[in-house]
Amino acid sequence: MFSELLKKIRSGDNTEKKQWLIILSIVSMIIVIMIWIYYMNVVVFQNPDETSTQEVKVDFWPAFGTGLGVTFGNVISNIKGGVTGIVNDVQKLK
């Protein structure tokens, strides 16, 4: 069944391939977000231990914003490091 679907997509024109790309990307993102929300509910929003004296409440959106900020910060620093490395390599070739 899956291989037949792949053959159909491969034999289609570019418009049909783009449509399949968009559809499968959306489905993949939904699956990833569902797994991520499940993880957040299991790990982050679990009840604190009875031995804990301080109650910690983490809201979804602030945690999401913090994670997004850290992720984009890491991506940007990696891109800057990569660009710097490429510039250094080009300068060494001169």
Pseudo-torsion of CA 3, 31, 26, 63, nearest 10°?
-160
Q: How buried is 40 (Cβ within 10 angstroms: 0-12 exposed, 13-18 middle, 19+ buried)? A: middle
- The structural domains of the chain, with segments of one domain joined by +, span 1-58, 59-94
Q: What is the pLDDT of residues 65-84, one digit of tens each?
A: 899 999 989 889 889 888 88
Check: CB of residue 58 under 8 Å from CB of residue 67: no
Q: What is the pLDDT of residues 18-54, one digit of tens each?
A: 999 999 999 999 999 999 988 887 776 666 555 556 6
